[in-house]
Amino acid sequence: MKRKLCLLLLAISLLALTGCQAMVDYYLARRFMVERMEAQPTRTPVRSTTPAPLPNPFNESADVNGAEPRLERMPAPAGGTMLDNKSGEWEETTYDEYAPLNDPGFISALTSPLSTFAADVDTAAYTNIRRMILHQEKITPDAVRIEEMINAFHYDDAMPAGEDPIAVTTQVAACPWNPGHLLLRVGLKARAIEKDNVPASNLVFLIDTSGSMNMPDKLPLVRRSFSLLVEQLGRADRVSIVTYAGNAQVVLEGVRGDEKAKLLAAIAELTAGGGTAGAKGIETAYEIAARYKAPGLNSRVILATDGDFNIGVNSESDLIRLIESKRGDGIFLTVLGYGYGNLKDNKMQALAEHGNGNATYIDTIHQARRALVEEMGATLVTIAKDVKLQVEFNPAVVEGYRLIGYESRRLNNEDFADDTKDGGEMGSGHGVTALYELIPAGAGELPASNLTYQKPAISDSGDYATVHVRYKRPDGDTSTEIVQAVGQDAYTDTPNADFNLSAAIAAFGQLLSGSEFAGAADERMILDLLQPLLAEDVGGRVVELSTLVRQSGGLYEQNRR
């Protein structure tokens, strides 16, 4: 009996040495859709390689069936930019990088009536800001991309009814933070494809396994995120996995989506270490995606990274040139950002904006489920590409205008009709909201024009503006234009829920960034806009936003000085 027991223990030990961990990881990958988040500890210092439990901005009330849990404020992590509770001073130790944002302010509708920009369905900024607030970190102004905060929420704009895959909705009402001004909301809605009709996908998982990903909120969360996506795939889908550290490595190529055990095991075995050969990884991923590209397949590279490229591409301009050379192949890009303290947000945005792509920031498994399961169609299936907007303002009604956000998405006016210029991509059911703060004609707030030859003709139509939208079909090279006037009937004294929600988020974003145009915006005003929306708050997103507004007090005060 003792001999049998010893042999059994020896067999168990050998099994552990030769693959037990991979089996355990596979088992956990199958279970984690219903497991709760780990307990919440203090994060280890930036650039530390010491393992630490996964940061958890949610409490333990997470529903086992995947319902969104309640938010709780987290202890300030070690290493980040945060408020020292004893000294009251900000400790500047973060290595995060963001591209600078520059708000040009109000523009005269008389001398510059055209406002042109690319659609943006990215949501990375909202999740990143949520993380900063829950960690009680100082808000980095350049991290506050207001359009991404607004577009992280769903709106009930009308779906397309005709042949165009995009519908346009507009509304005008008083500006909440500046009652003497007006606020114009322009909403785009892409046609939604039913889940059962989603086309098969040719996916390449491009996973950063460099040393900078060796943190609990990076590669371990990446493994769990991609395992969630694998569970949604079927026999017709094809999946390849490419990793990059010191060099690029093809882990799997052209595996059927129903070979889940093979895919999950490969994902579970990923480890981090070495340099970051991002350029080679991107090139390899696109080569494989092109190899398996076929009519009817949705071809996409899904990149998971903290953006810390340091081998093969050393600047944003190098990165832009690289990704622009790939976008003409009919292969789309999704960028998933992970981690903080060393987040290279500027590089991830450059990839998404210049490579027919979109960007999402993943801070928890709940956010991964939202992006890769609940919103899989919008994330993976492109309905329209190179979507651009050009709004022409009527100076007889509008003295001046200011586009809120979209600083990195603005285009030259002549780029609007130029089909060689890149725009934004919209996926199944995606919405895009843009807000303009308007100065009514005759307000006298902007300097009078003294131009002699460039005065435009003033329309007496009474329209506020005309919205022009151009888009291409996913497999097309020529754009189609949609035109819709914003007449006086767009004005209302009782704006709808979509208007109030987007206005509240815009006001919040302006507070967080320290915008000089925030006017009378404050916590009370924002919560008053959100309060009527709570009764219809399916999923708890408005409750979440209200909680963040309350918890953000003081984090942005230095930005307003």
Neighbours of 533 (CB within 10 A): 18
**Bridge partners for 385 per DSSP:** 472
The reported pLDDT for the residue numbered 460 is: 79
3-state SS, residue 359: strand
Residue 137 to residue 196: CA distance in whole angstroms: 42
Q: Show the tokens assigned to 58.
A: 């949610």
Residue 77 to residue 75: CA distance in whole angstroms: 6
Only one residue has tokens 């190899």, namely 291
Please give the model's pTM, rounded to 2 decimal places. 0.84
Pairing of strands 465-472, 424-427: unpaired
Tell me, what DSSP letter sits at residue 500? H
The reported pLDDT for the residue numbered 323 is: 81
Q: Which of 260, 97, 284 is nearest to 207 (CA)?
A: 284
The answer to whether the CB of 341 falls within 8 A of the CB of 79 is yes
The reported pLDDT for the residue numbered 493 is: 97
The dihedrals phi and psi of 228, each to the nearest 5 degrees, come to -60, -45
Mean pLDDT across the chain: 83
The reported pLDDT for the residue numbered 158 is: 95
- Residues in the chain with pLDDT < 70? 1-93, 310-316, 454-456, 558, 560-561
3-state SS, residue 33: helix
Neighbours of 349 (CB within 10 A): 25
Only one residue has tokens 């067999």, namely 11
Alpha helix (H) residue ranges in 32-145: 124-134
Tell me, what DSSP letter sits at residue 491? B
Q: Which of 91, 340, 325, 101 is nearest to 212 (CA)?
A: 340
Residues with Cβ within 8 Å of 218's Cβ and at least 6 positions away in sequence, in order, are: 212, 272, 306, 338, 339
Quote the crossing angle between the two packed helices 278-291 and 316-324, to the nearest 10°. Answer: 10
The reported pLDDT for the residue numbered 37 is: 30
The reported pLDDT for the residue numbered 273 is: 87
Residue 334 to residue 151: CA distance in whole angstroms: 16
Q: Give burial (CB, 10 Å; 0-12/13-18/19+) of 450.
A: exposed
